[in-house]
Amino acid sequence: MSDFGVVLFHTTSAALRAEKMIRKAGFPGKLIPTPRQYSSDCGFALRFDWTLAERVREMLTGASVEIAGLHPLS
């Protein structure tokens, strides 16, 4: 089990928007190619610190950024 999680998105624009939002909030975040175990429509996913999962989810839903999933990275 790593300490990372990923957010999956339907669109690139949503992923890019989410990346900027969480970085602006001071959280570490990086766009990575979508991990193989998750099927996603968007070629990349946002990797973040899994301990912040709930706060990331709240931040994105609060700003109406639609996500396709939020999972721990195994």
24: contact with other proteins by CB under 8 A: no
Which of 1, 26, 54, 64 lies at the binding interface for other proteins (CB under 8 A)? 64
**Residues that contact other proteins, how many (by CB under 8 A):** 18
Instruction: Using DSSP, state whether 16 is helix, strand or coil.
Output: helix
Instruction: Using DSSP, state whether 13 is helix, strand or coil.
Output: helix
As measured in angstroms, the least distance from the Cβ of 12 to other proteins is 3
Count the helix, strand and coil residues of the chain and give each as a percent rounded to the nearest 5: 35, 30, 35
44: contact with other proteins by CB under 8 A: yes
43, 32 contact by CB (below 8 A): no
Which of 8, 42, 46, 70 lies at the binding interface for other proteins (CB under 8 A)? 42
